[in-house]
Structure 1
Amino acid sequence: MTLTQQSTSSQDARSIPYPEPTFAGHIGKTFSESEPAYPERVGAPTGAPNILLILLDDIGFGQAGVSGGPVPTPHMAELAERSAQLTQFHTTWLCSPTRAALLTGRNHHRVGFGTIAEGSTGFPGYNCALPNTAATVAKVLTLNGYNTAWFGKNHNTPDWESSAAGPFDRWPTGMGFEYFYGFNGGETSQFEPQLYENITPIEAPDDPDYHLTEDLVNRAREWIGRQKSVAPDKPFFAYFASGAVHAPHHVPKSYRAKFAGQFDAGGMWCARRPSTARSSLGWFRRIPTSPSDPMASRRGRRCLLMRRRSTRRCKRSSPRTSPTPTTRSASC
């Protein structure tokens, strides 16, 4: 009897997991009359891109220098100059829901994350338990020939399933990621984090200069380098979600010294708002929009209106002088 193996190119890419291919060899009456054939995995298309997805927690357009904010971000600015810049990403006002929508491509209520994992209610849309009917982008890419990894914050595992006892099907390694290095929950210490490698709890390095962000970057670089050294033509998908910017605000000493006094409360911070609003608005204006997009001009007017309102609120609520002489500035 001879059976023909189903070609991977004819697989229906809209349905995963793919069915097991039929046996492509031949089974005769004896071994010498038989021909073996191993099942083939679906491979990524030739030239498939490597993907690095970076999610920054609790940061807005008015903070980063790349979008007009007062915090210098030279590397992001350099990347933005030669990249597509999108301004209509839909955030959902909280950590877990935005991440669930980003990773699954679905409305956050459809995948159970109408709120953060710690605030689940046990009702549909709010139980914070990712259903097995919703695959993550990592699951899709893994089944299509990618290596996949998650570094940093995992806020999409139900709170009652996040201990070392599991179950682990809703941990990153159960949601389609082949490797995970990071922490569970909304936040952790940046100096002494509660870390996991895959599903195993591990201790952070005993280093007085340790900081979680640098550790995550180093781990990601090591993983990418190792993956490319073994299979240089195989694409990767790396999801990097740092714990920085989100509370607790554990800033390394070198950065605290560098920005000392620049963001003190009161007059100095308030004085920055008008210039930040103008810079942010200028950044939005630089991004080309389609002439056929009826919302383009309306978005620009809305951005300007929101910034004017923010400035007026600042004038009403801020003190005339800053708390200390070293940060004294004109009233805004």
Structure 2
Amino acid sequence: MELGALDNTLVLYILGDNGASAEGGIHGNFNDIAALNGVHDTTENILRRLDEIGGQQAYNHYPAGWAHAMDTPYQWTKQVASHWGGTRVGMVAHWPRGINDAGTVRDHWQHVIDVYPTILDVAGLPIPTSVNGVPQQRIDGTSFAETFADPATPHRAVTQYFEMFGNRGIYHDGWSACTKHCTPWIRDGLPDLTDDVWELYGPEDWSQSHDIASEFPEKLAELQALFLAEAERNYVLPLDDRRSERFDPGIAGRPDVLRGRTSMRLFPGMTRLGTSSVPNIKNKSHRVEAAIEVPEEGAAGVVIAQGCRFSGWVLHIVDGYLTYTHNYLAASVYEVTSDAPLPSGRHVVSFDFEVDSGPGFGRGGLVQLTVDGEVIGAGKIDRTVPFLYSGTTDVGCDIGSGVAPTYETERGVFRGAIDWVGVDIIAGPEATAPPVEVLNEIEIATQ
């Protein structure tokens, strides 16, 4: 506006990145991070804490039934990329200089991959094949700029695949074929991918309401073959229907900037470090140690914290005692505290976590606290966050919502001095079996 260029600025407002989320499960949940880790809440617990919902102590999510209602008239919800309820949303275009009939509607079928070529088109720029000598990935989208001027512009021939957690579909020239493989709130008993039943919807069935697969088996077979071709061309294969596990790149097999790195040294001032910026210690034995100085009046606050109020862990000093706190999805808070307060002076403090043997993710383990190599405390952690911490990693403070319930200093700012903090993964067996107990429905205890 200040530049006087608003009328000649193209604004594209996409009404959502997908359908409404059913990740709250049938009952909804008080802590959505728990649900993303595969742990679901109960109606009884939610009702007991109803007055807290919407407040600072809650990370609440509505029940799946509301997601279905919000996605009407389409079928299904977020995560179910096979059906329009999981993917289809509207878009608003604002460009007074380029759109003459403001307030009108276009019913052209477009995909988000069309946005980039549209912007280049209206700017009069070619799609680049190389940037600074680096070959660019192919662009599959097409510009929809011509629809701005003429609502009668013919629909382009479009082919677009969809896939998420094994839910898959294909759109081609108005036809859509799709199969729902898994349901967002059901964790166990997934069918074999080859047993999934495909549906078929015709060009006039914009809400996918009338399955005509039995009437046009040849058309369905054609689209199924097209899906496989597009899936191969876009590196979708092999299909992977794991869900919570895929938050962990080490389990999912995704590229990871720290893959293979088992050690890192961090320093004061390092805050808001993202998950991929520090070694992934979940489901592994590990050691965290730090060189600190305790002043005469005693130290207090956070040495290092990872996560937030709803999941994570922190090494900190409480009332002069070295303390390790593991926040298990705001359901349980485990603490291991040193036998005596830390004396003043320079020390190397640490905790070692030895994960329990056995199958499954989110296993507990033994925590051992040391000061200058001497064990000064130990304790058992029954279970740990398996796949996802919400929040960042902070050295010398906890600038998020607070992994531990309280700190002696504001935001846990460390009273004393920190030279460095080391994070090391200790070699040993990692969890490889499907999660068992951690994914059972639990009652989230009142904190």
Q: TM-score interval w.r.t. the shorter chain?
A: under 0.3
**Structure with greater helix percent:** 1
> With structure 2 as the length reference, what TM-score do the two structures score?
0.20
**Structure with greater strand percent:** 2
Q: Computing the radius of gyration over CA atoms, which structure comes out larger, 1 or 2?
A: 2
> With structure 1 as the length reference, what TM-score do the two structures score?
0.25
